[in-house]
Amino acid sequence: VLYGPSSPSWFSYAQLARLDNNRIGDREGRDFDEKIDNLIVTHPGSPPRAMSMVDIPRPSNQRVMIKGSRTNLGPEAPRQFLEILSGPDRQPFKDGSGRLELAKAIASKDNPLTARVMVNRIWMNHFGAGIVRNMSDFGMRSEDPTHPELLDWLAASFMENGWSLKKLHKLIMLSNTYQQSSEDNPRYGSVDPSNSYLYKTNRRRLDFESFRDSLLFVSGQLDMTMGGQPVEITRAPFPPRRSVYAFIDRRNLPEMFRTFDMASPDSTVSQRFTSTVPQQALFMLNSPMIASLARGLVEKKEFKDFRSDQQRIASLYASIYQRSPEPIEMKLGIRFLEEESGEKSEPVPESQWKYGYGNYDEVGKKLPRFYVLQHYTGKAWQGSGRLPDSQYGNLQMDAKGGHPGPLPQIAAVRRWIAPRDMTVNIEGGLDHYIDEKAKAIFDKLPKAQRDALDKVYDGVSGFMLHTASGGPKELWRGNAKRGRAAAAAANVIVKKGDTIDFIVHCLKGPHQDFFNWAPVVKVAGMMEAMAPDPKTGSMVMNEWKAADDFAPPSSKPKPLNVWEKYAQALLLSNEMTYVD
């Protein structure tokens, strides 16, 4: 009675709209205006804009918050520049809020700090370390500059040339100091082992953005177009635009950026720290982007026109390193081609993830049958081409979650298959939500009607099931109702071919059971995660992310041929990664 179509607690969207007293129309109007504003900003034909700020009509001074407490206020603080940089005779700002006066004070030739800090950071980007080692601290606790007169001279030159960064870069890069080799000199090394006085160039690794752009450039694919909207560079088809145009999501920085030590976009940092971890090598070896660049190099017409292996090797060295190969490098290249030519390419491994449905036995804690979803829409797996379907209802699985079927017997199942024997940890959480349209209506309803709908929008149940040769074992179970339930398991011992199912089914009400659950399976323990394949000695994958690994059925990567493998090896060498 409570959940039937004729129940007094069951409402159609049309009925809810009438009860909402035309507020839906107002909301749709606001949504339409937001779409117009978004189109104005993002349309390719839109003129370039920069964000700007406008002063409030009546700016006012703020009072000092004692120890940062809003309830414990001290004296009023007039809007003015820092005393340590402007002297005791400073005057409060008088022009509006004072932002313009503050900017002028910061960029003033009388300010002893700004030019030196800027010059020091530019120097650090070119040499790997600043003239003052503490990039964000020029105070009493910082180290003394290694070349104080040079810092002063560069700062003065910087200001005399109109604060031009281009002229500052040119001045530094045309110097004999910048053009030195990184080769060691024992005579000077014994006196200056840390190279503080720059008797040679410090060998340093390229940052991720420079490395990516270099790979695109040497392969002839770098898009030099100036301006435009940000692009998503971490996913296929991997647009070849320069990395400065990469889209950065501050709330969810892609794993690729974090792997290569990109600084957090949530805070300011004076310099980027570098690390060398196995994940970086794994990314470079397995990245579809690197594979496509290697293919692009050997598919060039000028490369194919060469008939001998020696000519082709020389062509790749000229394209990638802008030099000819040494005799020993030529011999190593010929040996690599001979050894790889006799080997068959390993078959492309199947995805470790499957998407389907089944009837979970909560009492017996087992999934008797698993049925694979057969229809792919381009973004999600479904039971058929229709949604909702007469049999499967709204059953759907996408990269982050999905929707279960109309009955508990038609549960959405995301299955992970263990590729080898190991111990894993599982992270993630089950989030239940209702769609935006239903939520907008639900939030505005009177309490009595919300309480009635609350019994219909009753959430979902989730289960984590490990099935091995010895039988199934439930690792986790929980419910989620318009919120999140943490779903994790630690130190799960799996054998090759074991499955871990992430199961979600509806409760009494089959409506608005949208969920997000994109688990992450990681090899437990640092030593096991870094261990190579015992048969081949090569590094193996140690992390599987449901969201990142989600792919259509036809997206299996094509194995590299022998020349593509050789081009990939040259692209991943230290000569490409480091600056000498």
Residue at 278 is within a domain = yes
Q: Does one domain contain both 374 and 489?
A: yes
CA-to-CA distance for 298 and 568, rounded, in angstroms? 10
Q: Does one domain contain both 344 and 376?
A: no
Number of Cα atoms under 13 Å in the Cβ half of residue 449: 14
Q: Does one domain contain both 234 and 325?
A: yes
Quick check: helix, strand or coil at residue 208? helix
Name the pTM for this structure: 0.59
Residue at 428 is within a domain = yes
Show pLDDT as tens, one digit a residue, over the chain (580 residues).
555 666 666 666 556 555 555 555 666 777 788 888 777 777 767 777 777 778 888 888 889 999 989 889 999 988 888 888 888 888 888 888 888 889 999 999 988 899 999 999 999 989 988 999 988 888 888 888 999 999 999 999 999 999 999 999 999 999 999 999 888 989 999 999 999 999 999 888 888 899 999 999 998 889 998 887 888 888 777 889 999 999 888 777 877 888 888 888 888 888 888 777 777 888 888 888 889 899 989 988 889 888 899 999 999 999 999 999 999 999 999 999 988 886 554 554 567 899 999 999 999 999 999 999 989 988 899 988 888 888 888 999 999 999 999 888 999 999 999 998 999 999 999 999 988 888 888 888 888 888 888 888 889 999 999 999 889 999 999 999 989 999 999 999 999 999 999 999 998 878 889 999 999 999 987 666 566 666 655 667 888 999 988 877 765 667 888 999 999 999 999 888 888 7
Q: Report yes or no: 561 and 384 within 8 Å, Cβ to Cβ.
A: no
- CATH classification at residue 372: 2.60.120
Residue at 195 is within a domain = no
Q: Does one domain contain both 222 and 84?
A: no
Segment holding 364, helix H or strand E = none
How many domains are there within the chain?
A: 4
CA-to-CA distance for 95 and 91, rounded, in angstroms? 12
Q: Does one domain contain both 95 and 207?
A: no
Number of Cα atoms under 13 Å in the Cβ half of residue 359: 4
Burial group, residue 577, by CB count within 10 angstroms (0-12, 13-18, 19+): middle
Residue at 22 is within a domain = no
Q: Does one domain contain both 358 and 434?
A: yes
Q: Report yes or no: 344 and 411 within 8 Å, Cβ to Cβ.
A: no
Give the β-pairing of 489-494 and 381-382.
unpaired
Residue 473 dihedral angles phi and psi, to the nearest 5°? -145, 125
Q: Does one domain contain both 525 and 475?
A: yes
Q: Report yes or no: 573 and 580 within 8 Å, Cβ to Cβ.
A: no
Q: Does one domain contain both 452 and 374?
A: yes
Full domain range(s) for residue 90: 68-106
Residue at 27 is within a domain = no
Residue at 466 is within a domain = yes
Q: Does one domain contain both 294 and 410?
A: no
Residue at 527 is within a domain = yes
CA-to-CA distance for 482 and 514, rounded, in angstroms? 9
Q: Does one domain contain both 564 and 544?
A: no
Q: Does one domain contain both 368 and 309?
A: no
Q: Does one domain contain both 322 and 391?
A: no
DSSP string covering 435-499, please? Answer: -HHHHHHHHHS-HHHHHHHHHHS--EEEEEEEEETTEEEEEEEEEESSSEEE--EEEEEE-TT-E
- Of 135, 150, 180, at which residue does a domain stop? 180
All residues at 6 or more sequence positions from 338 whose CB lies less than 8 Å from its CB, including other chains = none
Sign of CA pseudo-dihedral 27, 29, 33, 38: positive
Residue at 300 is within a domain = yes
